[in-house]
Amino acid sequence: MISHEVRMWLLSMATMSVVSWAATASSLLIVIGADSLTGYAAALLAAWTLAVPAPVTFHTISYWRRVRAARRAFALGRKHARLFESMQEKITISLR
């Protein structure tokens, strides 16, 4: 169905996404906790938040959608193969 390499790649992308969101949240809490959230620090933090975790999260979600679509296509193909075999058996029986 879906190769082991693709599964591992998606797992690594999801892990990077979770780790990057956690790092961003913890750095935000550290900066706010230190009462040193200046305008410059807030701008850098906002840029970091947009530049690092969001694209990784978007990539992960879009590829999981592709995986689900591929699984549905494989399932539909198996269903059609079973129906074809069933019809083939019925035709063979009726021709005897």
Residue 91 CB contacts under 8 Å (≥ 6 apart), including other chains: none
pTM above 0.75, yes or no: no
Has residue 35 got a pLDDT over 70?
A: no
41, 31 in Cβ contact below 8 A?
Answer: yes
Average pLDDT over residues 52-66: 74
- Angstrom distance (rounded) from CA 56 to CA 14: 8
Domain residue extents for the chain: 4-95
For 5-27, how does the pLDDT look when each residue is reduced to its tens digit (9 = 90+)?
777 777 777 777 777 777 777 77
The pLDDT of residue 2 is 62
Q: pLDDT: is 60 or 22 the higher one?
A: 22
- For the chain, the average pLDDT equals 77
